[in-house]
A = this chain, B = another copy of it.
């Protein structure tokens, strides 16, 4: 499980609340690891129990209190240990590919619609990478002086770009096959 370590990583940049961590996820880690808000809160509790993070409750006039989490020295050590451990090979889980695999039993027109939906998703992701994420990385690198970090962020962005491009191309190839099928039998 990478979630506690992803949170340790984000907190290593600066202390944050659970809500802020969710927002940070959405702009970065989200593209290769996701977590819901309840999951983040529960994981933060576990991390606190293990001494990886410490909490400061900031009381504010009128407003509800903010629980600000920061990494402890034990947490930094755990992050370094985890970074040095060999990463597990991810087990891909892709419902669309399952549907394509048994595609002969589906209506070719419906399958084609699925593929078009997928293509649109990855084409949109590709646009988002260029227009939103790439400038965001540059922005953070300049703003916080994290130029060294930005090089690594860009590597994961590049993976996303290549994956999305590959997915779009594959959809086009698959669509050609499926539509041929539709003409012959549908």
Task: Please report A residues at the B interface, Cβ cutoff 8 Å.
Answer: 2, 5-6, 9, 12, 28-29, 31-34, 79-80, 82-84, 86-107, 110-111, 113-114, 117-118, 121, 146, 148-149, 151-153, 155-156, 158-159, 162-163, 166, 169-170, 173-174, 177-178, 181
The answer to whether A98 and B2 touch across the interface, beta carbons within 8 angstroms, is yes
Q: Is the interface of A mostly helix, strand, loop or mixed?
A: helix
The answer to whether B155 and A32 touch across the interface, beta carbons within 8 angstroms, is no
The answer to whether B162 and A169 touch across the interface, beta carbons within 8 angstroms, is yes
Closest approach, in angstroms, between the C-beta of A93 and any C-beta of chain B?
Answer: 5
The answer to whether A96 and B105 touch across the interface, beta carbons within 8 angstroms, is no
Closest approach, in angstroms, between the C-beta of A170 and any C-beta of chain B?
Answer: 5
Check A156/B101 contact, CB under 8 A, given A33-B94, A92-B31.
yes
Residues of B close to A103: CB separation below 8 A? 83, 152, 155
